[in-house]
A and B are shown apart, each in its own frame.
Chain A
């Protein structure tokens, strides 16, 4: 396990992000909200990797975007290095951007096709006035390319001349260029081929050690998240249903949804698969526009009780541990 000095770099309290839905062409009337993120709380220690898993539409990307001030929170607050960044102004935002960066999911859509690799990686440096001369600018970019495992001779190429894995390396170099402390990685490997995924995961681990980075790692692939994260939060329909240390979460999952997610991921070994217990859940994720009352998971939960349909379960620790879960089974 990585050394974490138990300093909270980020603290999120009751964060909610709702997107209003309008109806009508002329007289637009608000008919409700999509509750993409509906009151989540967690903290991230400096130097660790915090994993955020869940299925599509559960709000994991929106959570990451809200932390980077790309989406405005409806409620709650986000403390970064002790400062509340929910009420930021432009100067503060500019300062914040130097400390937090993002690596995007789609290595094809997240790079401007009309900019060379050098311009893409160098843009943050120019925006933040972090270079004094042209020579220094070029040196920095060549160095960044080397760090992420690309040949500096490729700096003049355009994104279409790179493969998916190489493009993701450019995206990582761009995020690293201004030496941030905190990087939100939104599904950074899910668009890549299996044999390339491991290259990028290893690169991210090496960079974390070299530059003392803190990651918020968002993904739907539990095996990948387990590999890279120190602690993991599981999201379902805008709520965090479980947070635990990675070893705990996989050895001793508490929430029925976590159990189902884990058993839905096959292990590449027929001998293991043959003896593994599979908890299959029925149905599909309900719409976040009109989520079920009580525990949002009760419609699919094999252990649902009467209380689950009416009361929202409290998010609290299991026993004395750091392991937190929101489920009536443990209350």
Chain B
């Protein structure tokens, strides 16, 4: 079975006065039907830009998708006309954004905003749209749907707004839901509720879930496969079990050693990664991680490694075999 979505050599660059920022630089990955795939990385590593590129929502200027192909349901999304692309957005692929406070329109009721994609894409009439909206509110566990449907976003708490966003996201029964840091702004108990809900709904609606986050724990709990990004590139790809059980890229290893864990021995000291994430404008030559890497060899500062397979379903971009160190 071909993958649901196949990204090939995608590059998204931003052309600024100071220079070209390669926010996404030659990344390739697949998403299979119905799976939960995680994308992990720190702020500024290009996670969100890669998600926005899938939806062709990169502000231009200054941004531009300069290279690559995005195959989805047999078509290259980058070659679609504007109208065809509009028909994909919110219909076949939907997106749940990070900030539930600012990504809803404050002057439209929650009901109107949930209805909008269905009216637009499915052309259903008013009565059916209201009925479906009530059903969706129930699906995302918003109580008293018949009064809440007329409420405005400011009357909702952060968690409720994110629930409304999820309702909007699943309204047209998309094949792929992109969730960009969906719970970062929320409290931990609410975060757990919402992710549980999203996982359940994506299963019920048989959609794939693309979970973008900086939280290694969330990915471990919910994702089947994981891509790790650093400075605009994917540096490791693996199944969740492989990535956490046998990480091969020094950055992945470093990330895991630097987060405190609830289940680990408390006397264990954290091992931070030295230095700071690089400025994408002034990337070091060679592998962008080499100035912070404890395994670096001379070659690292000259050549940037490509992804190579270390086993089935496990790839890393590193010159060094960390197991020998």
Show the binding face of A for B, using Cβ within 8 Å: 55-56, 163, 165-166, 193-199, 201-202, 205, 220, 222-224, 226-227, 246-247, 250, 260-273, 278, 280-282, 284-285
Contacts and interface: CB of A to CB of B under 8 A. Distances in A.
A195 B42 contact: yes
B266 A226 contact: yes
A266 B272 contact: no
B244 A195 contact: no
A223 B218 CA distance: 13
B262 interface: yes
Nearest to B269: A202
Contacts, number: 127
Interface string B268-289: 0111111011000000000000
A202 B272 contact: yes
A198 B271 contact: yes
Interface stretch (B87-95, B251-259, B294-302): B251-259
Interface stretch (B145-153, B209-217, B309-317): B209-217
Given A198-B260, A198-B272, A260-B189, 17 more contacts: A55-B188, A56-B187, A165-B276, A193-B42, A194-B258, A198-B259, A198-B270, A198-B271, A198-B273, A199-B274, A202-B270, A224-B260, A268-B220, A270-B240, A270-B241, A271-B241, A284-B190
Contacts of A196: 272, 276
Interface of B: 42-43, 157, 159-160, 187-193, 196, 214-221, 240-241, 244-245, 254-263, 266, 269-274, 276-277
Contacts of A262: 262
Contacts of A226: 260, 262, 266
B258 A280 contact: no
A193 B40 CA distance: 12
B130 to A, nearest CB: 26
Contacts of A270: 220-221, 240-241, 244-245
Contacts of B193: 280-282
Contacts of B245: 269-271
B254 A266 contact: no
A282 B197 CA distance: 12
A280 to B, nearest CB: 6
A210 to B, nearest CB: 15
A297 to B, nearest CB: 11
Contact of A193 (B157, B192, B214): B214
A270 B223 CA distance: 9
A272 B220 CA distance: 9
Contacts of A205: 269
**Interface SS of chain A:** helix
Given A270-B244, A273-B220, A195 B272 contact: yes
Contact of A223 (B43, B160, B254, B259): B259
Counting chain B CB atoms within 10 Å of each CB, the highest count among A220, A224, A247, A269 belongs to A269
A205 B159 CA distance: 34
A220 B215 CA distance: 14
Contacts of A220: 187-188
A261 B189 contact: yes
Contact of B259 (A194, A271, A284): A194
A269 B216 CA distance: 8
A227 B192 contact: no
Across the A-B interface, give the 8 residue pairs with the lowest CB-CB distance, nearest first.
A266-B217, A198-B272, A198-B258, A227-B260, A264-B192, A268-B216, A55-B187, A266-B221
Given A267-B220, A270-B241, A195 B188 contact: no
A198 B274 CA distance: 10
